[in-house]
Amino acid sequence: MERYETEEQQVEAIKSFWKENGTAILVGIGIGLAGLFGWQYYNESAITKKETQSLAFQSAVEGLDAENGVSAAETFVKDNADSAYAVLASLVAAQKAVEQSNFEAAKMHLSMAVSNSPSKAIGDLARIRLARVENQLGDTAGALTTLDLVENDAYSDQVQEIKGDIYVAIKEFDKAKASYEAVMAEQPQNRVVEMKLSNLNYAASEVAGVSQ
C-alpha cells in the first residue's frame, strides 16, 4: 500500500481518487438509494392497494342485500379484475343470485369467477357451481361440458354426482347409474347418493310405463 508522508499528500491523494472515481461512486449510491426507496414505495403502494380492495370487497359483499347490491358487486369485479377479491365477490354474488332464484345472474357471476380465477382449484370450484346453475336453467349439454373441464381430482365425487343428476333429468338412466356408482365407490357412506341410486330403478320404470 502506498504511504504518504504528510497530511497534504494524503489530501491530494484523496482529491485525485475522487476526481477519477467520484462520479461512478455517486451514480452507484444513487442507484442503490433509488432501488431502496423504490422498493419501499412499491411495497407501501401494494399494501395500500390491497387494503383498499379489501375494504371495497367488504362493502360490496355487505351491500348485496341492497336494491342495487348485485350491480355494485359487478362494478367491484370489473374494477378489480386482477385481484383475488374479484373471484370471491363473484362467488358470493352468484350464491346470492341463486338464493333469489336469479339463475341467469348467477351464471354470469360464476362465468366471471371462472375467467378471473387465480388458481385451478378455485376455477374448478366455480365450474362446479356453474354446472349446477346451467342444469337449473335447462342447459344440460352446457353443464356436462363445464363439468368435463374440471381437472382437480378432489372434486371428482361432486362432478360425478352432478352428472348423475343431469343424466336423470334427461332420462339417461344407465349413465346416471354409472355416475352414482362412481361416487359410492369412493364414498360408501354417502346416504344421499345411495338414495339417488336406489331411486333410479323406480324412475326408469316410471318412464318405461309412460312410453308403453
CATH number at residue 62: 1.25.40.10
Give yes or no for a contact between 142 and 162, defined as CB atoms under 8 angstroms apart. no
Cell triple for 90: 363473484
**Do residue 96 and residue 201 come from a single domain?**
no
**Do residue 96 and residue 132 come from a single domain?**
yes
| pLDDT of the residue at 95 | 83
Q: Helix (H, G, I), strand (E, B), or coil: what is residue 190?
A: coil
| pLDDT of the residue at 100 | 83
| pLDDT of the residue at 43 | 45
Cell triple for 73: 358487486
Cell triple for 17: 481518487
| pLDDT of the residue at 202 | 72
| Domain contains 10 | no
Q: Among the three residues 120, 135, 151, which one is the final residue of a domain in this structure? A: 151
Q: Among the three residues 130, 151, 172, which one is the final residue of a domain in this structure? A: 151
Give yes or no for a contact between 99 and 105, defined as CB atoms under 8 angstroms apart. no
**Domain around 56:** 36-151
In whole angstroms, give the CA distance from residue 188 to residue 194. Answer: 8
| Domain contains 12 | no
| pLDDT of the residue at 47 | 41
| pLDDT of the residue at 58 | 59
| Domain contains 22 | no
**Do residue 103 and residue 135 come from a single domain?**
yes
| Domain contains 41 | yes
Q: How many domains does the chain have?
A: 2
| pLDDT of the residue at 119 | 82
175: closest CA among 134, 144, 133, 153?
144
| pLDDT of the residue at 46 | 42
| pLDDT of the residue at 42 | 39
**Do residue 161 and residue 127 come from a single domain?**
no
**Do residue 81 and residue 164 come from a single domain?**
no
pTM of the full structure: 0.65
**Do residue 52 and residue 97 come from a single domain?**
yes
Q: Would you tell me the crossing angle of helices 69-79 and 7-62 to the nearest 10 degrees?
A: 150
- What stretches in the chain show pLDDT beneath 70? 1-84, 203-212
| Domain contains 170 | yes
What's the Cα-to-Cα distance from 134 to each of 41, 118, 127, 129, rounded to whole Å? 46, 23, 10, 9
